């Protein structure tokens, strides 16, 4: 009796040489039919859609949980005598989800209108223009971030100049 190969160590059968060409590298590839291509594309689209829907549900759940946590935290504050019903907490979570969805669509439209693919601070400022205090806060934050970016670039540029002068 011969020895049995270990599990998983079986070798796949070698493909037979094509009778058309002399080289084994000139194997012909199966060309999918248009119906098969359409079915594959539908399958991919469905998979992307279900993955996206799952991510959206996870995000919505997270937003609802955060809304409930905030309501409970405010309700636990001894200085504030207020309690939130479960219905109100759910409504706040739904409102936050709706607001965020609307904000995301608006940001996307603003960047597309400017013929850009990337959303930047000017798009966020445009969305915040309806609320004066929010617009001021976002503008101040954007200025602060721009200053930080400039100072870090200056530090990097100074370090690069020092390296070049020590190399000479």
pLDDT in tens, 31-66: 778 888 888 888 888 887 778 888 889 999 999 999
Q: Per-residue pLDDT tens for 102-127? A: 999 999 999 999 999 999 988 988 88
Structure tokens belonging to residue 143: 């200025």
Q: What angle separates helix 86-113 from helix 121-128, to the nearest 10 degrees?
A: 130
The pTM (predicted TM-score) of the whole model is 0.55
Of 122, 144, 123, 141, nearest in space to 133 by CA: 141
- 48: Cα within 13 Å, side-chain hemisphere: 6
Torsion region of 54: left, alpha or beta (phi above 0 gives left; psi -120 to 50 gives alpha):
alpha
Of 110, 63, 121, 64, nearest in space to 89 by CA: 64
* pLDDT reported for residue 46: 82
């Amino acid at each position: 009796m011969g020895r049995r190969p270990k599990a998983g160590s079986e070798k796949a059968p070698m493909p037979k040489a094509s009778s058309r060409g002399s080289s084994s590298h000139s194997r012909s590839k199966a060309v999918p039919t248009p119906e098969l291509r359409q079915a594959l594309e539908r399958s991919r689209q469905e998979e992307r859609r279900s993955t996206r829907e799952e991510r959206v549900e996870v995000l919505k759940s997270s937003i609802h949980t955060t809304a409930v946590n905030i309501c409970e935290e405010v309700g636990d504050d001894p200085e504030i005598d207020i309690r939130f019903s479960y219905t109100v907490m759910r409504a706040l979570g739904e409102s936050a989800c709706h607001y965020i969805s609307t904000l995301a669509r608006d940001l996307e439209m603003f960047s597309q209108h400017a013929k850009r693919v990337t959303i930047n601070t000017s798009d966020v400022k445009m969305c915040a223009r309806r609320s004066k205090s929010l617009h001021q806060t976002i503008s101040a934050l954007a200025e602060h971030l721009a200053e930080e970016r400039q100072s870090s670039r200056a530090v990097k540029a100074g370090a690069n100049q020092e390296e070049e002068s020590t190399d000479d």
